[in-house]
Structure 1
Amino acid sequence: NRLRQLAVEQARLTHNHPLSDAACVTVGRMVQQAILGVDRFALHALTRELVRDYPTFTFNNYRGQATAYVVDTLQTVFHYLFTTADFEECLVGVVNQGGDADTTGAIAGMIAGAFYGVDAIPRRWLKRLQAPVRAEIEDLAVRLVRLSPCRYSGE
């Protein structure tokens, strides 16, 4: 489908490997489904599909490794996404795990942000953004949604 194609094309700009392809497709599907309002169980089902096809991604016994390796990255993101109660707890946990914190934080932020919604972002975090930066982020978010080929089709 279109989401898969776009995710793989995007992934291969920097990472040409089946594990990276699978990770990007799964994250894309999770963000899409979260935006559409699915529950946590439905998001977890997407991770089970990934683990079924690529068992190396299993995260049931999280080892606490947040390296730049795609498997460690997603294990970290999934662990915190499914063991925390809200956006802030998820993000703080992920980045405080250390390692490749900018990557794990960005991915966790995408999924958790789509799942919990913009109102879940702590106001004190938003207040620290300079007004032009915040406006640019908000404008970019709206433009990205408008450009999305998957926004209506459920692909």
Structure 2
Amino acid sequence: MSKSIMDRKRGCLLGLAIGDALGAAVEFKPPGSFPLVTEYRGGGPHGLGPGEWTDDTSMALALADSIGHAGWDLNDQANRYLVWMRAGEYSVTGTCFDIGIATRSALLRFEASRDAQTSGDTSPHSSGNGSIMRLAPVPIRYAEYFPNRIDELATRAEQSSIPTHASEICRSACRYMTLILTGFMHGLTRDIVLDAKWDALEQLKSLAPLAPEIAEIADGSFRRREPPEILGSGYVVKSLEAALWALDRSDNFRDAVLAAVNLGDDADTTGAVCGQLAGAYWGESHIPEVWQNGLAKRDMIEKALASITG
């Protein structure tokens, strides 16, 4: 593996955690109602310290642990999420202090059935951003599937959503975002990867159409809109669109992630999604050192990275 690909893989997961931690203090706050985030700060709805992260990173660590130790096994993935929910494993504080409604409901169904294929809600009304916020371990581990095995890459991406977010919209979002992330990891430019006519995107859509809401994003909606149409929302469509808007308008990792978290509302997840994209694009080497050094429980991130890149 070339150094540049490893740099971008590491940047993807570190970016997720850093974006999550930057947004945690202003989660649920309307845009414009708080001093702009420029560095880590404490507080927020969960009373976290500066550099501490939320459920986005916890679930990504659980997913990485599962892939690294069990291969590809949806029941194992769901079970590790359940252990996080019940016992606080993978949490920065040792407890599950934040969990989405759809995720909690799905994990309770899994706890009863032990079948991750049926635990996620398939309704389009249950299309939160809980599966894109944790996505990084999938493209990191399976980056080698790009560009010649896009069908397998898309399958992994889509399946990763099913245990908690099984709607067509969520599954499509995971497929599209994974394609973007692996393209970035292989060193392709934004002009190529975010082009509505990108050949890899055409191949992805030929395998199975994207949900119309995600197809609109792939067609460049994030370039045609500005806040307040761009929202830091918990809805997967708006969440992905906002993250891509922040990435596309910025010249570096710092500016991209700050643009995302300062949209407010579901700020930690908008930051986590943008952080994955920006980290995969610019790489770990271009993430500010002060943010890397200030990230809580960095050893947990490193352990997860080792399990999916070693």
Change (3 A) 1:13 1:72: same
> Does 2:244 correspond to 1:78?
yes
Answer whether contact 1:76 1:104 (CA < 8 A) is retained.
yes
Match of 1:111 in 2: 277
Match of 2:263 in 1: 97
Answer whether contact 1:30 1:46 (CA < 8 A) is retained.
no
Match of 1:42 in 2: 192
Segments of 5+ residues of structure 1 without an aligned counterpart are 147-155
**Range 19-28 or range 53-62, more displaced:** 53-62
SS at match of 1:45: coil
CA RMSD of aligned residues (A): 2.3
Give, in whole Å, the separation in 1 of the partners of 2:258 and 2:188. 23
Aligned length: 144
Match of 1:5 in 2: 155
Give, in whole Å, the separation in 2 of the partners of 1:3 and 1:100. 28
- Partner of residue 304 from structure 2, selected from 136, 140, 143: 140
Change (3 A) 1:135 1:86: same
Change (3 A) 1:61 1:102: same
Q: Percent identity?
A: 26
Give, in whole Å, the separation in 2 of the partners of 1:34 and 1:93. 20
Amino acid at match of 2:250: T
> Does 2:270 correspond to 1:120?
no
Amino acid at match of 1:84: S
SS at match of 2:247: helix
In the TM superposition, residue 47 of structure 1 has moved relative to its aligned partner by 8.9
Give, in whole Å, the separation in 2 of the partners of 1:29 and 1:46. 13
Amino acid at match of 1:120: H
| Higher relative contact order (Cα pairs below 8 Å, separated by 6+ residues) | 2
Q: Deviations over 1:88-144 (max 9, x none)?
A: 0001110111111121111111111011000111111122135xx223312322322
Q: In proportion to residue count, which structure has more helix?
A: 1
